[in-house]
Structure 1
Amino acid sequence: MASSEQEKRVEDELSYPIMVAERVRSAVDESDSFKLECSEVGKHVDRILQMLRTLVRFATATATSAATPPLYDRPIRRVAAETAKNLERALALVSKCKRRSILRRVVSIVGAADFLKVLTHLDASGGDMKWLLSILDGGGGIVVSLPPIASNDPILSWVWSFIASIQMGQLNDRIEAANELASLAQDNDRNKKIIVEECGVPPLLKLFKEGTSPLAQIAAANALCHLANDLDRVRVIVSEHGVPAVVQILSDSPMRVQTLAANLVARMAKHDPVAQEDFARENAIRPLVTLLSFDTFVDDPLGHLGKQSIHSIVQINKELGKGGQGGWKFTSSYSNSYLFMEGSSRGGNHRKERGNEDPAVKLQLKVSCAEALWMLARGSVTNSRKITETKGMLCLAKIVEMEQGELQLNCLMTIMEITAAAESNADLRRAAFKTNSPPAKAVVEQLLRIIKEVDSPALQIPAMKAIGSLARTFPVRETRVIEPLVTQMGNRNTEVADEAVAALTKFASPDNYLHIEHSKTIIEFNGIPALMRLLRSNEVTQMHRGLTLLCYLALHAGNSESLEQARVLTVLEGADRTVLPPHIKELVSRAIIHLNLYHAGMNSQRISYLP
């Protein structure tokens, strides 16, 4: 909607067609020919004029009454504009019937067909005005009749009626209308576009944040979730101050409503980086972590957690954090309790209801919160840091350990995004993934468990991505993180094997300060034979990644007997004769030169690189 249209009052929009209608009435009285037809036009215009004035009185009364909901003006503006056009047509026709000179009367030929066409247009305007009054003066109930203005696009009239009911109707009508909008939005993107263009977002947000009825909030949230699958539509929700409203719902609402609020966070953050940043500014991460932590840590190893003050809990946290690798389980319980004590002031109104809630509802809330955290962390160092600062990693690690299905996957994907952010940001990496950090240890333990024990590519791949992202944080002695990756290079699933190579490449890359030591460890765990088997595949990406890792191993551990036994020099020389990307070509050439220093005698033994 244009800004000039937004600034123009509804009363001003209606004043112009009223003025044109008055001029038509005067022209009818002054007509000299086609008096019967002009009289019929006058009757139609009288009816329209009466409805226009009724509409003005209604709009004025609504604007001046504080107790009356604001007027939904989108259909009024459209109908007023169309009515003005039809009245202008009538004025032009009737004006030709005035007494005038012989020449003007000859030039201005008027026929019965012209009157028939004008009367048809006036009939349509009358129908539009009647429909408009029915949706505005009907107590906010849903009107399903079709006005002439929307005869070619029934969806438009339904959207108008539903939005008017949400904005001006009684609670039951508002709930029903919001559900109808959600159904329309679910059908296709065109319906979503119409709903947003016709200003459906503000009344839906108002219904969502009022908190007068959980059913109303659920209906509004469903509609908003269906709308929030596109950057432009998400921007509209953001511009209507939707982010603070959603965060407030997360902090203090029934579980079913919080679930949909978390879904909305995930949708908005997924499609719009601006929304992602706004949620960070509004501190959306803390209530999400709090809700995700609910019922996750049920053990109290010291038996007296409930008696501790917040200060005591934080102090115990610090002490337990110094206790080495095994201390993270204790820390997790205390961190979780601290979270809930901290968030109880905002979420206390519904805490008693949570204990009696259906387990399926609790599970879905956690699934939605985990997805929201995933989308907030994706590509965002700021949000990833906020998750680690709320002790969220302990909760994520515990859920990955204890849960299965969508909840486990969403938490694992969140961890993957946090580690990716840590890979790109040294400050986050040092703060959140210190060697002696219990949360970091807990996360790594679960990542390694999934890589070694869980036969699911959907879980293994993000786990290996996360370990690869953390490659620069592991000391030389942490060889246990390399062995399962070497093993997975032999996985029969090519995607898992390829991801294992990608992760190991980050250990052996020159960007890693310990690349020489890690390269030797990879070779010690029989990484060369596994890598050579992988290179025999015909998949180009896999071959390129494998060659990159092989070159790094050759450059950093060139004197290894494993390289000579596997005839790596011969393989690289064969690869050098194939078509390769320039950066890999250069890497292969450097590796060949380096290996020739150690294995020159191998030149007499040639095997073909290509199958």
Structure 2
Amino acid sequence: MAEEEKSIQDELSLPILLADRVIKSAQEAESYKQECTDLARHATQLSQFLRATVRLTQSQSLYDKPIRRITNEVTKTLDRALTLVRKCRHKPNLLRHVLSITSTTDFRKVSTLLENSTADVKWLLSIFDPDAGPTLSLPPIASNDPIMAWVWSYIATIQMGNLQYRIDAAQALANLALDNDRNKKMIVEENGVAPLLKLLKESSSAEAQIAAATALYNLADDEERVRAIAIDLGVQIVVKVLTESPMRVQIHVANLVSRMADLDTYAQEEFGRENITRPLVINLGMDVVLDELKDAQPRKTPSLHSLVQINKEMARNQFSFHSNSMDGSSRGNKKEKDRELEPPEVKAKLKISCAMALWKLAKGCLLNSRKITETKALLCLAKIIEKEKGELQINCLMTVMELAAVAESNAELRRLAFKPTSPAGKALIDQLLRVINEESDAPLVIPSIKAIGSLARTFPAKDTRIIEHIVAKLGHRNTDIAVEACIALGKFACPDNFNCVEHSKAVVEFDGVPKLMNLLRSDRGQLHELQLLCYLALHVGNSKALEQARALSILEGAARHVLAQRPDLRELFAKAIHHLTLYQTGGHMHRQA
């Protein structure tokens, strides 16, 4: 560890000193003079290249990984050469010759090693030439692992080359990262992340930023590598670039945010602390006219005016992040015009990427969910779910599903963000119910049902339309949708829900029991269906529908199998069977039997 902390100049000083000693000892040789002279010649050439490297390090900050690795190998070679030539300082005699066991073979081996070391250092100097571009030639040190040499060359070029060469090198690293996991690991271990982040942050070229973002995205496919990016100031840089860059760059950066947030909870929360949700929501909400949601408002409240003001504020702020430079106003106006001229397909891609980023940021994270709902994101999401189709609509539904899942375990978030009588809450719930009622595709219906289920405790007992829509899906031909509806209804009917009795009555009223029985016959798992049946038995055990469906027999027949896997449900099954025994005709005799 201490060796790694040495400066590059200190690293290079030792092999230079050793080379000088090899030259001097070779001049003093009394035996194998010609061989020593050849070694001195190699050492002299090597010393010159080493000194050129030192001069280079004094004028600029160099990528140090290959320098340290090559210097370490050069030092070993020179140390071996010095040991060999020192054996030749005395005049030869038979006894000394026998003891030293020095031969021309030893000189040939060391001579080859010195030649290789010279070629390594010469190659090292070539990759630091800013006007040469990435070097694809292989130094001897990388003869058995050419990928290592290419990675060193690409990283060095990204750090110090001219712009086009930096773009080419970043694209090359991106392609290498796609090949296999070993390449990704090597790029990170050889300190490739920092130069890529620097290129992403400092470049005035959209092409360069896209190349850097793509390389980082390809690297960030597991938690360890995502963490390496995050702790290298990657989160702060990504947030800055997302707020200031052209749309086509923002697309790639938003995709990077999605992947990092999805794979590493540390990065996910760091993005929240840096308030990345704001530029994401702004980009998602471009072209969304919020005052069209006025029907979601009670007519006598003053909120309609506030909605219009919100819409105007978002329109003004869409480009507010771009006007913080010295000539802020003019630059902001120019960037605003540039954004307005972007093709519709670019805007659509950006919205899709931002919606996915919000989805991944919200997943299981209270901090990010709060920040998202504190903006006008819910209104934007409701409008997009209503108007859009395809991937954008699905990503928005997944975002709502994750926000609702977090709110399910946080009463304050449920109350502040998803109150059914609030403009945002009502607009969003209306759209979720519309999707459940009108759509049939699982990627649309399932997240909508999950979101409604997560919010089950926010709905009043009198709002039976929610139950009606969900019960209808119990009979859906897609078993996954039907089971999801069953899970959602279980959250309405479970004893933890204050309105569980009224909700259970509504399930029965809308013919939920026959649909539930049909689902029990078609679903292999049956656990969620049996739980819902238990809840109905607890709250409406005297229902004729349950008696006609032979709910008591079904629960008793399934109890042994279910409780063997889920002993925690023993009390629930016992209470449900007891209730049905009390209410159903012949139940007592059946129970005794």
Please confirm whether the aligned pair reaches a TM-score higher than 0.5, indicating the same fold: yes
Matched, 1:452 2:427: no
Task: Find 1:83's aligned residue among 42, 51, 74.
Answer: 74
Give yes or no for contact 1:321–1:331 (8 Å, CA) kept in 2. Answer: no
The aligned counterpart of 2:44 is 46
Matched, 1:323 2:299: yes
The aligned counterpart of 1:340 is 315
- Kindly report which structure 2 residues correspond to 1:402-413, keeping only aligned pairs within 5 A, or say none: 402-413=387-398
Matched, 1:295 2:287: yes
The aligned counterpart of 1:310 is none
- Kindly report which structure 2 residues correspond to 1:61-210, keeping only aligned pairs within 5 A, or say none: 61-62=59-60, 70-99=61-90, 103-137=95-129, 139=131, 141-210=133-202
Give yes or no for contact 1:324–1:438 (8 Å, CA) kept in 2. Answer: no
Give yes or no for contact 1:412–1:463 (8 Å, CA) kept in 2. Answer: yes
The aligned counterpart of 1:569 is 552
Task: Find 1:222's aligned residue among 192, 214, 217.
Answer: 214
Query: Aligned-pair distance for 1:324?
Result: 7.6
Aligned counterparts of 1:119 and 1:462: Cα–Cα separation in 2: 70
Aligned counterparts of 2:300 and 2:176: Cα–Cα separation in 1: 56
Query: Aligned-pair distance for 1:175?
Result: 1.3
The aligned counterpart of 1:508 is 493
Structure 2 counterpart SS, 1:489: helix
Query: Aligned-pair distance for 1:565?
Result: 1.5
Deviations 1:430-454 (A, max 9, x none): 1111231111111111111111111
Give yes or no for contact 2:296–2:426 (8 Å, CA) kept in 1. Answer: no
- Kindly report which structure 2 residues correspond to 1:145-544, keeping only aligned pairs within 5 A, or say none: 145-297=137-289, 323=299, 334-348=309-323, 349=332, 350-537=335-522, 539-540=524-525, 543-544=526-527
Relative distance call for 1:223 and 1:589 in structure 2 (3 A) is same
Aligned counterparts of 1:257 and 1:329: Cα–Cα separation in 2: 35
Relative distance call for 1:534 and 1:329 in structure 2 (3 A) is farther
Structure 2 counterpart SS, 1:241: helix
Aligned counterparts of 1:452 and 1:221: Cα–Cα separation in 2: 40
Task: Letter of the 1:323 partner, please give it.
Answer: R
Query: Aligned-pair distance for 1:150?
Result: 0.9
Query: Aligned-pair distance for 1:93?
Result: 1.9
Task: Find 1:560's aligned residue among 534, 543, 548.
Answer: 543
Relative distance call for 1:156 and 1:336 in structure 2 (3 A) is farther
Give yes or no for contact 1:33–1:97 (8 Å, CA) kept in 2. Answer: yes
Matched, 1:548 2:531: yes
Aligned counterparts of 1:579 and 1:434: Cα–Cα separation in 2: 36
Task: Letter of the 1:150 partner, please give it.
Answer: A
Q: Which moved more, 1:132-141 or 1:480-489?
A: 132-141
Q: Which moved more, 1:512-521 or 1:186-195?
A: 186-195
Structure 2 counterpart SS, 1:483: helix
Aligned counterparts of 2:576 and 2:291: Cα–Cα separation in 1: 54
Task: Letter of the 1:337 partner, please give it.
Answer: K
Task: Letter of the 1:417 partner, please give it.
Answer: E
Structure 2 counterpart SS, 1:143: coil
Q: Which moved more, 1:443-452 or 1:584-593?
A: 584-593
Query: Aligned-pair distance for 1:235?
Result: 1.7
The aligned counterpart of 2:328 is none
Q: Which runs of 5+ in 1 are unaligned?
A: 63-69, 302-316, 607-611
The aligned counterpart of 2:583 is 598
Relative distance call for 1:138 and 1:207 in structure 2 (3 A) is closer
Query: Aligned-pair distance for 1:102?
Result: 6.2
Task: Letter of the 1:457 partner, please give it.
Answer: A
Query: Aligned-pair distance for 1:578?
Result: 3.4
Query: Aligned-pair distance for 1:345?
Result: 2.5
Query: Aligned-pair distance for 1:461?
Result: 1.0
Relative distance call for 1:467 and 1:329 in structure 2 (3 A) is farther
Relative distance call for 1:207 and 1:5 in structure 2 (3 A) is farther
Relative distance call for 1:524 and 1:298 in structure 2 (3 A) is closer
Q: Which moved more, 1:8-17 or 1:207-216?
A: 207-216
Relative distance call for 1:235 and 1:578 in structure 2 (3 A) is closer
Relative distance call for 1:579 and 1:368 in structure 2 (3 A) is closer
Aligned counterparts of 2:562 and 2:395: Cα–Cα separation in 1: 40
Give yes or no for contact 1:558–1:595 (8 Å, CA) kept in 2. Answer: yes
Give yes or no for contact 2:296–2:427 (8 Å, CA) kept in 1. Answer: no
Give yes or no for contact 1:297–1:332 (8 Å, CA) kept in 2. Answer: no
Structure 2 counterpart SS, 1:404: coil
Aligned counterparts of 1:181 and 1:219: Cα–Cα separation in 2: 9
Give yes or no for contact 2:130–2:160 (8 Å, CA) kept in 1. Answer: no
Give yes or no for contact 2:290–2:307 (8 Å, CA) kept in 1. Answer: no
Deviations 1:67-115 (A, max 9, x none): xxx3122111111111111111212222222317865542221122222
Query: Aligned-pair distance for 1:300?
Result: 6.8
Task: Letter of the 1:544 partner, please give it.
Answer: L
The aligned counterpart of 1:22 is 20
Give yes or no for contact 1:464–1:499 (8 Å, CA) kept in 2. Answer: yes
Aligned counterparts of 2:191 and 2:437: Cα–Cα separation in 1: 52
The aligned counterpart of 1:67 is none
Query: Aligned-pair distance for 1:604?
Result: 6.4
Query: Aligned-pair distance for 1:32?
Result: 2.2
Give yes or no for contact 1:140–1:168 (8 Å, CA) kept in 2. Answer: no
Q: Which moved more, 1:105-114 or 1:428-437?
A: 105-114
Structure 1 counterpart SS, 2:113: helix
Relative distance call for 1:418 and 1:331 in structure 2 (3 A) is farther
Query: Aligned-pair distance for 1:602?
Result: 4.2
Aligned counterparts of 1:336 and 1:229: Cα–Cα separation in 2: 37
Query: Aligned-pair distance for 1:6?
Result: 4.9
Relative distance call for 1:83 and 1:191 in structure 2 (3 A) is same
Aligned counterparts of 1:40 and 1:493: Cα–Cα separation in 2: 81
Aligned counterparts of 2:353 and 2:21: Cα–Cα separation in 1: 61
Query: Aligned-pair distance for 1:211?
Result: 4.0
Structure 2 counterpart SS, 1:57: helix
Aligned counterparts of 1:298 and 1:397: Cα–Cα separation in 2: 10
Aligned counterparts of 1:153 and 1:220: Cα–Cα separation in 2: 24
Aligned counterparts of 1:534 and 1:59: Cα–Cα separation in 2: 73
Relative distance call for 1:257 and 1:416 in structure 2 (3 A) is same
Give yes or no for contact 2:126–2:132 (8 Å, CA) kept in 1. Answer: no
Relative distance call for 1:518 and 1:538 in structure 2 (3 A) is closer
Task: Letter of the 1:134 partner, please give it.
Answer: S
Structure 1 counterpart SS, 2:496: coil
Aligned counterparts of 2:208 and 2:465: Cα–Cα separation in 1: 53
